[in-house]
Amino acid sequence: MDKLSCNKDLISKHIVDEYYSNIKKDIIKNSIILTIILVGSRQDSLIYVNIKKKRCQELGIICNVYNFDNDVSDYIVIDKINVLNNDTNVYGVMVQLPLPKNLDKNRIISTIDPKKDVDGLHPYNLGRIINNEKPYFYPCTPLACVKLLDEYNINLEGQHVVFVGSGMVNLPLSLMLLDKKCSITLCNEHTTDIKSKTIVADILIVGCGQSKLVKKDWIKDNVIIIDIGIHKNNDILNGDVDYSDVIDKVKYITPVPGGIGPLTVCMLIANLVNNWKTGLYSDTTHT
């Protein structure tokens, strides 16, 4: 039976379970270290970091989180990244985004060794995508979106994909989808009459950071929605799309939780383990 004939949810559990099952067979417990730089205490960032740390612990991967206050300087964060770059026991370094506005995000991300950039956000890795070349690592959320669409055999050729939001997801993902012959529209907080753009989307990808922003009057019938957002309201997780409001109108939708979030974390860990296995960073390979 077609997976999509059961319901409208694009769930990632079966993909994630397969990845983690293979990873457990491959790795040596406590031989891999992931380090996460976290600045401040944004709720969405804390949710994602805790999920990553929990999953690493389940797999026998060491996850070290360095949490700085909001008023930390660029120099202190960069100094820490430089130490991690030179630590041969560390196979992955990532910075949890978004960062506070007082920090230079581009400068900080650029400090990470591209061969330890398991989040795939270093300019070197993004630049290779722009040049239609394979990077050391693809960015995790875009990679998760593409893998989920591929897994469910959703035809992308000729589809009109509309993005709502800004940040580090939309550009690399739009380039990855352009390679699959989609038409792309990018929207952000400065886009005028945004509903006129979203309502014509065949596939709507939302990562704007606003809880339940997208309602049913934003979309056309039988649209496919990828919801990248995550928020916690009264101990309940929800996304940037009002799931209960749009569910009767969509063709398919990623639920929150259970959609893109777990697969994004999975792609991060897959990048990390691949770095350890192939010896991309070090001179040692593990088979």
Identify the active-site residue in 113, 117, 119, 227: 119
- Is 119 an annotated catalytic residue? yes
- Is 96 an annotated catalytic residue? yes
3-state secondary structure the chain: CCHHHCCCECCCHHHHHHHHHHHHHHCCCCCCEEEEEEECCCHHHHHHHHHHHHHHHHHCCEEEEEEECCCCCHHHHHHHHHHHHCCCCEEEEEECCCCCCCCCHHHHHHHCCCCCCCCCCCHHHHHHHHCCCCCCCCCHHHHHHHHHHHHCCCCCCCCEEEEECCCCCHHHHHHHHHCCCCEEEEECCCCCCHHHHHCCCCEEEECCCCCCCECHHHCCCCCEEEECCCEEECCEEECCECHHHHCCCCCEECCCCCCHHHHHHHHHHHHHHHHHHHCCCCCCCCC
Identify the active-site residue in 96, 113, 115, 240: 96
- Is 52 an annotated catalytic residue? yes
Write out the catalytic residue numbers: 52, 96, 119
